[in-house]
Amino acid sequence: MEQGFTEASSANLPRIDLMMLGTFLASNKDFCLAEFRNVKTSMSARASYGDDAVSYVQVKREGNLCTIKAKICPEH
């Protein structure tokens, strides 16, 4: 864990809604590339992918700002 961060759990993560997620995905060029949309997306779409890919998640709150960091090991 980095200094100032705590282990994330469902109790201390911020709530996000579909509009927030859609805005992030639409504005982030990494999610709009043709290669990502097709082959890589289908590889990571299976139900167990997240369990294997996410190593740990940490969260840090400073006033209205919430920073979340995760160690992710994608298979592709």
Q: Are the C-beta atoms of 60 and 7 separated by less than 8 Å? A: no
pLDDT mean for each 10 residues of the chain (76 residues): 87 88 79 57 59 77 89 66
Burial class (CB in 10 A: 0-12, 13-18, 19+), 2: exposed
Q: Taking the complete model, does pTM exceed 0.85, yes or no?
A: no
User: CA 46 to CA 8: how far, in whole Å?
Assistant: 23
Domain edges within the chain: 6-72
What pLDDT does residue 76 have?
A: 46
Per-residue CA distances from 44 to 8, 9, 13, 40, 65 (Å): 22, 22, 23, 6, 29
Q: Would you call 40 helix, strand, or coil by DSSP?
A: helix
**Res 42: pLDDT:** 60
